[in-house]
Structure 1
């Protein structure tokens, strides 16, 4: 049996590994843009930033392997390529972004140092934690996450109590889909398949549990972490909407979050926020680099040298990319997300479903269709050509950059009808 304390520690670790740069700066900005439509935005954001990531943890509880297991029903080649793409994206964009956010919000307001100095020191510390990965659950779950939660809840509670309670008109044309797409920028679906594997490996290193005990531990921890994310996101989005009138219309994501902390906790709030940003971003970076190093260690037959070399390369990339500003990294990330996020969501959902509804042929058909219908959305952000816009006009939800959704659902239903019919004929 899993002890409640063990479940809570693992849940806290999961929450902290999820809760990084994007999770902090995106919700208040969404609320600021949403105004009166804050609830619709919250529901859209929760879909891709809470529900899908939690389902990803459920999939890990079911598979109890690595990220490779998510795509192996399609084919070994596809799964290998998918893993490499995911880890390259994760270690090149969201991990370095945590250093960039830390500099802009926690270092620049107090110290006159360059972003390169910040990212260098930052990823030296990340490397130290990654090389002591057997202590990750204890360090993150017992100490860092509770502190993050206390600071965040303080900002939210004081914000709701002291806000002017003025909900202005929304600045978003499509609040629900806007929330969905902004949820992409958290990278949490990708985070689920990456850090979920870190949790599985860490549990295996620490405990001699049965398959069912580990499944129970991971599932319950995922639910608690998801609930925590939902509470924090809702609170930050609501606060952003309540304080909308306090910001200029062209305020940036970081300006809204910094302003919110000043309005709620004053100068002390800025200090608290600095600690929060550093902790939240740091734990996510540690999770990403550890997960990537684990994967390449597995590729080279458990070689510790491969683990160390990957960790060094990941931290060097972090130093270089992390020296750029947050806005630049977010802009660069968007096309990659439009391409890989739909495939990741589909793989998570198919792996959670009962095996009878997610056979190999279903996997292959749905993933292929999702891949094909993600290409126009990807190209739209890479090179907005008129021909692409014309083609997208015939696909439902394409105007919201969700052209893949209906084709994926239809292919899933049709393939299951075909599989069931084939089974009956065989009988």
Structure 2
């Protein structure tokens, strides 16, 4: 395979593993609600759903190890616990969420089957792909991703050039922060840490031995995948804004039904009756490739824990798929609600680890890693506790006192100050 061809196959595989249920369903409704402020929510969404995840891939290109390497400068014990938590979260929330989205949008409207039947067949196919992991990169990169991108670009292209009614003023008070928080829901920063390891092992299995060669290939493919995500997200958000006065969504609907209804409406308006069929295929493919990436990454990690045991790989893949079948019985909205407190706690830690791992070792020393992660852990934990006790006066006063606290980003300034101050005193 030529270098350019391999670059694009790897980039397409990365894009496809990132682009799952949340990535498809979240942006249109965000634009629909933002209306004339769509550019601000787009900016916020890009930061948490594109920029930070691609930095995660760049960190993998630099480390070329496993997720364990992301946190080992804090301590081996911390890194092991962090990895296990991330993998448990991955197979219990974002992976089953892909099955729930596939059922609600692609399968149930066309076949009327039960969630159990859908998720059982879905994860049986995921398991087949995961157990044949040496072919994953090529198959996803060569066949599935181009089809996903083609359908998406067709819907976006037609939708943007159609005549539209003038949109109303936005109801968002802080559209930038709404975009930032919605980008959390894609799980892409965590996904970058999981999927990056899958790419590295897949390249190793294909015979890539040169560290520098893999570094360049992973970094370039990360930028290409990031550009693809940017174009698709911006297009979907803009479509949601354009159709905000043309597609009616009942406010009494649950969040997942709003997202699905809007996406169906856009597909119908752009591609007619065939749009429903295209949408069903698109959702199923986008969700499936993400589930394969998550399950493979989890199985790879536990295989490494048990001295590269093939049995550990197989058992982990089977258990992850069984969990997917069980949790996949919930609807998409329920899984998002479960994810919120988890994201508020673990996402900030994942973000600071990504940034510390792309920072020069001269500045990101072990003591900097430990103090920044500790501070982020404390503030992230407080945000997660606030989700369960929203009326607690101490937590409310704390959030009001902290810069960005009311937007769930109280951890940002303390983490940044800790990084600067500890680095300064260490240098002195």
Common topology (TM > 0.5): yes
Secondary structure of residue in 2 paired with 1:182? helix
Residues 208 and 214, structure 2, Cα contact 8 Å, conserved in 1: no
Q: Distance in 2 between matches of 1:366 and 1:2?
A: 42
Q: Where does residue 248 of structure 1 map in the other structure? A: 249
Secondary structure of 2:307's counterpart equals coil
Q: How does 1:6-17 map to 2 (within 5 A)?
A: 6-17=6-17
> Which residue of structure 1 lines up, in the alignment, with residue 411 of structure 2?
404
- TM-score by length of structure 1 reads 0.97
Indicate if the aligned counterparts of 2:249 and 2:262 stay in contact, CA closer than 8 A. no
* Residue in 2 that maps onto 1:310: 316
Report the CA distance between 1:357 and its aligned residue: 1.1
| Cα displacement (A) at 1:231 | 0.2
How far off its partner does 1:264 sit?
A: 1.1
SS, match of residue 116 in structure 2: helix
Which residue does 1:424 correspond to in 2? none
Aligned length: 421
SS in 1 for 2:167: coil
Q: What SS does the aligned partner of 1:355 have?
A: coil
Q: Distance in 1 between matches of 2:170 and 2:203?
A: 45
SS at match of 2:294: helix
User: Residue by residue, what CA displacement relative to the aligned partner does 1:99-138 show, whole Å, maximum 9, x if unpaired?
Assistant: 0000000011111110111000000000000000000011
Q: CA deviation at 1:77?
A: 0.5
In the TM superposition, what are the counterparts of 1:94-243 in structure 2 within 5 Å?
94-243=94-243
- Residues in 2 aligned to 1:181 and 1:61: alpha-carbon distance in whole angstroms: 27
For the 8 Å contact 1:376–1:392, the answer to whether it is kept is no
Distance in 2 between residues matched to 1:31 and 1:43, nearest whole Å: 12
Contact 1:15 1:225 in 2 (8 A): yes
Give the match for residue 23 of structure 1.
23
Query: Could you tell me which of 326, 336, 342 is aligned with 1:330?
Result: 336
SS at 1:164's partner residue?
Answer: coil
Contact 1:293–1:310 at 8 Å: present in 2 too?
yes
Mean Cα deviation higher: 204-213 or 94-103: 204-213
Query: What are the ranges of 5 or more consecutive residues in structure 1 without an aligned counterpart?
Result: 422-427
Aligned 1:311-390 pairs, distance under 5 A: 311-384=317-390, 385-390=392-397
Residue 166 (structure 1) shift: 2.0
CA distance in 1, matches of 2:250, 2:242: 14
RMSD over aligned CA atoms reads 1.1
In 1, Cα distance between equivalents of 2:356 and 2:271: 44
CA distance in 1, matches of 2:2, 2:218: 10
What is the match of residue 425 of structure 1?
A: none
CA distance in 2, matches of 1:163, 1:329: 36
Distance across 2 between alignment mates of 1:375 and 1:298: 30
**3-state SS, counterpart of residue 273 of structure 2:** helix
Cα displacement string for residues 151-195 of structure 1 (whole angstroms, at most 9, x for unaligned residues): 000110111111415222113221101101100100000000000
1:346–1:367: 8 Å Cα contact kept in structure 2?
Answer: yes
Task: Rate the CA distance shift 1:285–1:12 in 2: closer, same or farther, 3 A.
Answer: same
The answer on whether the counterparts of 1:99 and 1:281 sit within 8 Å (CA) in structure 2 is yes
Q: Give ranges in structure 2 of 5+ residues lacking alignment.
A: none
Deviation of 1:208 after TM superposition, in Å, equals 3.1
Aligned counterpart, 1:75 = 75
- Cross-structure match for 1:263: 269
Cα distance, 1:67 vs structure 2: 0.3
How far the C-alpha of 1:215 sits from its partner, in A, is 0.1
Structure 1: how far apart are the matches of 2:173 and 2:304?
46
Aligned: 1:34 with 2:41: no
8 Å CA contact retained: 1:45, 1:182: yes
Return the alpha-carbon distance in structure 1 between the equivalents of residues 294 and 250 of structure 2. Answer: 34
